């Protein structure tokens, strides 16, 4: 009798463990986020209009409007309607973006140690009871963001993370006048930029692109977007800093414009405009633990990668050097007499740079004839170059300036 009761007790315990495991199933978002691609490029959401073209076929002059401005331009007079006047000019070019997308989630199934200790007589089962393990699966989700129109053919700039893994994109024009389906032309995860397109049936309001390199710290700017689903909201602030590397964000991203204009979830992809009504950045991120610290991608960075977005080809060319900003003490040690420049600290084995003869302690002075004044400027230039592009580098070494030519290669994927 006692033996039979013991057997029944064991089966009851096993049943309770299984019930605990089933009832203890939890679902959490995948931690990989943007690294996971769940929608194939062959999906109908992608626009293939330019897939047969090459970089040489693209005429960027027709892609966006850019005002010709001199170094000295008239100051904007500030009065009680200054911001309202700017918003009135640009609001028609700002859009709200709603997406249906695939999300990777994890169902954690099993028994946790805390659950086990509450069930008596289970110590002998520790070796066979699985603790909670993640089981990935795909789920449909929804997201919102912002964007802005850059030409009358319906091309819109936004953030890559706004339309990541989208299966359906809806664009709502200013003041909810009309909704359009959109397709993805191209995305670039490194700079977090994306180009989408709608088929308009009337003339669109186009926002001109400015020159983010001319922004001054303290200059007034406006951020326009769709924060928290509140359509077409406007916030004002100043440029707090430029060439900022944002803490907590991927190091692969370029430098940012830092602003105290409020940028909340849903504002991502909207324009950061100056008081001349020109887009100087794409609102993209905010540090959750700070107040009034937002970041925008400089519009000049977007211009550099625009050919990649148009063709949907964002593979970068590989040179194979590790470089850092040139510090004054290192410039003195290497007897470098010029201003600016970038220091090479390492050259990868069998890389195009090594084949071209580059060495550590070389100082890059110019790229394709353009002086390299700052490290971030060189980094921005390199991110816009694809494999097979030929480079001409002016390099300072041992008191002489050398001209080194190299061809970027496609880097083999590492295991």
Active-site positions read: 161, 192, 268
Question: Rounded distance, CA 276 to CA 89, Å?
Answer: 10
CB atoms within 10 A of CB 110: 18
**CB neighbourhood size of 288 (10 A):** 8
Contacts of 309 (CB under 8 A, 6+ apart): 185, 186, 187, 188, 193, 194, 195
CB 265 within 8 A of CB 230: no
Q: How far apart are CA 299 and CA 273, in angstroms?
A: 10
| Under 8 Å between Cβ of 275 and 86 | yes
């Amino acid at each position: 009798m006692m033996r039979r009761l013991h057997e029944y007790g064991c089966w009851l315990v096993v049943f309770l463990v299984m019930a605990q495991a089933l009832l203890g199933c939890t679902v959490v978002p995948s931690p990989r986020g943007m690294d996971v691609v769940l929608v194939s490029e062959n999906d109908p959401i992608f626009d293939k209009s330019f897939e047969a073209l090459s970089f040489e076929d693209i005429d960027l002059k027709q892609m966006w409007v850019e005002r010709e401005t001199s170094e000295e331009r008239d100051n904007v007079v500030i009065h009680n309607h200054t911001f309202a006047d700017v918003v009135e000019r640009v609001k028609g070019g700002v859009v709200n973006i709603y997406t249906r997308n695939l999300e990777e989630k994890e169902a954690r199934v099993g028994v946790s140690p805390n659950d086990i200790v509450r069930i008596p007589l289970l110590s002998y089962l520790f070796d066979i009871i699985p603790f909670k393990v993640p089981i990935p699966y795909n789920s449909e989700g929804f997201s919102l963001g912002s964007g802005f129109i850059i030409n009358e053919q319906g091309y819109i700039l936004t953030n890559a993370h706004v339309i990541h893994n989208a299966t359906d994109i809806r664009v709502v024009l200013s003041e909810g006048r009309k909704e359009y389906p959109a397709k993805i032309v191209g995305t670039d995860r490194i700079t977090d930029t994306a180009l989408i397109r709608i088929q308009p049936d009337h003339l669109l309001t186009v926002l001109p692109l400015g020159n983010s390199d001319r922004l001054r710290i303290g200059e007034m700017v406006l951020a326009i977007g769709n924060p928290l689903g509140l359509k077409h909201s406007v916030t004002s602030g100043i440029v707090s800093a430029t060439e900022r590397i944002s803490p907590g964000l991927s190091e692969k991203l370029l430098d940012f414009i830092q602003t105290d204009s409020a940028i909340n979830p849903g504002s991502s992809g909207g324009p950061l405009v100056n008081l001349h009504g020109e887009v100087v950045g794409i609102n993209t991120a905010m540090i959750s633990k700070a107040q009034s610290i937002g970041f925008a991608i400089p519009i000049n960075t977007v211009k550099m990668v625009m050919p990649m977005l148009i063709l949907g080809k964002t593979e970068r060319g590989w040179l194979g050097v590790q470089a850092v900003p040139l510090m004054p003490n290192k410039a003195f040690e290497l007897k470098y007499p010029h201003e600016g420049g970038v220091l090479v600290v390492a050259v990868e084995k069998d890389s195009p740079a090594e084949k071209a003869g580059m060495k550590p302690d070389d100082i890059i002075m110019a790229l394709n004839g353009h002086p390299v004044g700052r490290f971030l400027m060189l980094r921005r230039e390199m991110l816009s170059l694809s494999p097979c592009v030929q480079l001409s580098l002016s390099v300072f070494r041992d008191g002489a300036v050398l001209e080194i030519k190299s061809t970027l290669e496609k880097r083999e994927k590492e295991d």
